[in-house]
Amino acid sequence: MIYFFVCVLSAAVVQLAVEAASGAQEPVLGASGGVFGVLLAFAWYFPRQRLFVIPIPVPIPAWLFVTIYAAIELFSGLARTQQGVAHFAHLGGMLGGALCILYWRARRRFSS
């Protein structure tokens, strides 16, 4: 729960920072940043797990799926392809999740 909450908060902060920098004012609502953080954690801890993605006829490793998905989100956010989708919130959730995992790993390493 803490991890998901950190991902949602970081998603909101990143999306609001991007909106402030671009001058756009759109409402932000949802927990998709937390879902993207969980997606990142799955790929982090199970990178070789094979995933079947419906349009792709062959299984791909989780790390590749998440990397491609993040690249699509970055491209979509920069190109502003889908109005009303907070692409940078998704990336912010992944960023917050990565920072949270790294923090917990460092804390465990220094506490032992």
Taking the model in full, what pTM does it have? 0.87
**22-42 average pLDDT score:** 89
Share of residues in the chain with pLDDT > 90 (%)? 65
Overall average pLDDT of the 89-109 stretch:
93
Q: Give residue 34's pLDDT.
A: 94
More confident call, 83 vs 38: 38
Distance between CA atoms of residues 94 and 72, nearest Å: 13
| pLDDT value for 102 | 95
> What confidence tier does 84 reach under pLDDT thresholds 50, 70, 90?
confident
Of 54, 32, 37, nearest in space to 101 by CA: 37
Residue 100 above 80 pLDDT?
A: yes
DSSP 11-75: HHHHHHHHHHHHT-------SHHHHHHHHHHHHHH-TT-EE--TTSSS-EEHHHHHHHHHHHHHH
For residue 32, pLDDT beyond 70 = yes
Mean pLDDT value across the chain: 91
What is the pLDDT, as a whole number, of residue 112?
A: 61
